[in-house]
Amino acid sequence: MTNNRVSYTLDSTLETVDSAEQTASRMAAEAGFGEDEVMQISMAVREAAVNAVLHGNAYDPDKKVKLDFERTSHELVITIRDQGKGLDPAKIPDPLAPENLLKTSGRGIFLIRSFMDEVQIHPSHTGTEIKLVKHVPGAAGGH
Amino acid sequence: MTMKTSTRQVDGISIVDCSGRITLGEGSVILRDTVRDLLGKGQKKILLNLGDVTYIDSSGIGELVSAFTTVRNQGGELKLLHLTKKVNDLLQITKLYTVFDVKDDEAAAVKAFK
């Protein structure tokens, strides 16, 4: 069984968002995911990075975004942590509700949940940690 | 690839050919500015050709919604043309496919404006 772990500590900038997306895309391809799944994983990571940079750290140059990728033979686990005030997922309105359809924001977490097999959000007063899991198709323990 | 737009006029309709990525930052700003410029010139019938848009994130989706409502609130119409599979899938799962008027034929799209 292979086990690869890579960690990055990144500034709270738009470049971090692009970098996280590109790294996720590369890691997902290396893990054996197909083209559609690579796109889904990279988009989920991009959305999580946007949340961390914008809503969590609010572009604060003193706050960092931590990005961890862990690859096993049966899944890819990505963890994104910010140093913001903590995101309460219960307070995020349902973007599919008719009254929210024409809102210009609020779809990031929904897209993340749509694209990943498991999503765990752990808010605290020192920041938010979001853990994203995608099972490798056909692998033992995968779907 | 950064976002680019190019606008042409066909039978009174402003067709905006978009290419590249509509994402948080530059891509979304370019789309917003393009639609704002058209409205400023009184051009309120806008067809966004997304055939060469390679990627769109939630901010880009939000910008499309913003463009749609801004144009509509000024008495105009905004339609979408030539969605790629990726963009089509995103509009489906976000239920925005039911909001936008999506076309896959340019001539028919132009005729569909009131």
Predicted local distance difference test score (pLDDT) of residue A138: 75
For residue A114, give the chain B residue with the closest CA: B93
Are the beta carbons of B58 and B40 closer than 8 angstroms? no
CATH number, domain with residue B84: 3.30.750.24
Report d(CA B50, CA B22) in Å as an integer: 10
How many angstroms separate the CA of residue A131 from the nearest CA in chain B?
19
Predicted local distance difference test score (pLDDT) of residue B36: 96
Predicted local distance difference test score (pLDDT) of residue A104: 95
Supply the pTM of this predicted model. 0.92
Model confidence pLDDT, tens digit, residues B53-67 = 999 999 999 999 999
**Average of per-residue pLDDT across B99-114:** 95
Quick check: is A142 in a domain? no
Total structural domains in chain A?
1
The boundaries of the domain holding residue A68 are 3-135
Chain B residues touching residue A110 (CB < 8 angstroms)? 94
Model confidence pLDDT, tens digit, residues A69-126 = 999 989 999 999 999 999 888 888 999 999 999 999 999 999 999 999 999 999 999 9
The boundaries of the domain holding residue B85 are 4-111
Chain B residues touching residue A17 (CB < 8 angstroms)? 24
Quick check: is A143 in a domain? no
CB contact (8 A) between residue B94 and residue A50: no
Whether the CB of B29 is below 8 Å from some CB of chain A: the reply is: no
DSSP code for B97 = G
Q: What is the ipTM of this complex?
A: 0.90
Quick check: is A141 in a domain? no
Percent of chain B past pLDDT 70, that is, above it, reads 99
Q: Is the pLDDT of residue A142 over 50?
A: no
DSSP code for A13 = S
List the single residue in A39, A101, A107 with the smallest CB-CB distance to B58: A107
Quick check: is A96 in a domain? yes
Q: What stretch of H or E contains B86?
A: helix B85-93
**Averaged confidence pLDDT in chain A:** 92
Residue B1 — pLDDT band, cuts 50, 70, 90?
low
Chain B residues touching residue A114 (CB < 8 angstroms)? 93
Higher pLDDT, B114 or A123: A123
Q: Is the pLDDT of residue A45 over 70?
A: yes
Report d(CA A78, CA A44) in Å as an integer: 10
Tokens read off for B6: 């190019």
